[in-house]
Copies of this chain bind each other. A is one copy, B any other.
Amino acid sequence: MKLVKVYVTLKDSVLDAQGEAIKSAINTMGYNQLTGVHMGKYFELNFSEDYENLEHDVDAICDELLANPNIETYHYEITEEA
């Protein structure tokens, strides 16, 4: 069994409205060393087994569904399920 951890983040040039709002909230709470916040999505995908095309499939799933290629990029790690 495989666990794939996918991280989807906004491209650098794209406005991160949520990150900005969170950053100013954290600064208001008094944590002034914080200089930036980026918010993204995190997915855990469980696969029943390893197979040859796993990586290829994960790419396809990310491209087509989990990430919006217009505004987001992604990366992932394939791990053994605990």
Contact = CB atoms under 8 A, between A and B. Distances in A.
Interface residues of A, number: 35
B45 A40 contact: no
Contacts of A49: 33
Copies per complex of this chain: 2
A37 interface: yes
Interface string A25-68: 11001010111111111111111110100100100110011100
A13 B9 CA distance: 27
Interface of A: 1, 7-9, 19, 22, 25-26, 29, 31, 33-49, 51, 54, 57, 60-61, 64-66
Given A26-B45, A35-B48, A38-B44, 9 more contacts: A19-B43, A22-B66, A29-B64, A31-B57, A33-B51, A34-B61, A37-B44, A40-B42, A41-B41
